[in-house]
């Protein structure tokens, strides 16, 4: 492996040049505006997922399924945490996190579907998680080494979405409604 070398004089000079850009320096290789736009879609996805899990939490309580309801609540809290992580990263990139409810559903990768039966709720959540897993994996590949901080954050969120999908698949098995091998 080659030893790490860098023109430290030049890096220090550039760091002073755009102090108002905060953590964004000349070393940032990605298209900042495109990353902000993509992160606003992720933010919308996380907000929609938070709302859907919250709805499912309250609906499930009505049909006496405390175990499942608790799982929904935990997921809602974790999606909210993801939304906060993404919004914070957007501001670090000098962008504006979009919390506008207008167009929220269009910006989101995943859908807001309620369902009435417990198993329908779990299935809708599983579909949404699998969509998020697919699009976040794409974002990670797209970012490559151009913005390692954003990539690491999306990787961390992706790992949690995979855990959510696994929780939901196991809930379906527990309820005895898992589809046979599909």
Of the pair 147, 161, the CB lying nearest Fe ion is at 161
Of the pair 135, 147, the CB lying nearest Fe ion is at 135
Cβ atoms of residues 15 and 130 within 8 Å = no
Of the pair 24, 172, the CB lying nearest Fe ion is at 172
SS3 for 120? Answer: helix
Give me the least distance between CB of 82 and Fe ion, in Å please: 4
Note the residue count of the chain. 182
Q: Token digits for 4?
A: 């790490």
Q: Token digits for 149?
A: 């901080």
* Cα distance between residue 175 and residue 71, in whole Å: 14
Give me the least distance between CB of 10 and Fe ion, in Å please: 39
Residue numbers of the site for Fe ion (CB under 5 A)?
A: 46, 79, 82, 129, 161, 164
Of the pair 124, 161, the CB lying nearest Fe ion is at 161
Give me the least distance between CB of 46 and Fe ion, in Å please: 5
Give me the least distance between CB of 75 and Fe ion, in Å please: 6
Distance of CA 146 to the CA centre of its chain: 19
């Amino acid at each position: 492996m080659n030893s790490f070398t860098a023109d430290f004089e030049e890096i220090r000079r550039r760091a002073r040049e755009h102090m108002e850009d905060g953590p964004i320096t000349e070393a940032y290789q990605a298209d900042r505006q495109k990353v902000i736009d993509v992160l606003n879609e992720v933010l919308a996805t996380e907000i929609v997922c938070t709302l859907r899990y919250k709805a499912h939490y309250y609906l499930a309580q009505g049909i006496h399924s405390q175990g499942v309801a608790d799982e929904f609540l935990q997921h809602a809290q974790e999606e909210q945490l993801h939304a906060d992580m993404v919004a914070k990263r957007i501001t670090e990139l000098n962008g504006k996190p979009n919390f506008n409810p207008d167009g929220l559903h269009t910006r989101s990768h995943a859908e807001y579907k309620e369902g009435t039966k417990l198993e329908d709720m779990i299935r809708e959540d599983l579909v949404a998680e699998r969509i998020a897993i697919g699009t976040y994996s794409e974002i990670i590949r797209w970012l490559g080494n151009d913005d390692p901080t954003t990539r690491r954050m999306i990787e961390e969120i992706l790992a949690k979405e995979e855990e959510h999908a696994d929780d939901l698949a196991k809930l379906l098995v527990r309820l005895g409604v898992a589809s046979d091998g599909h």
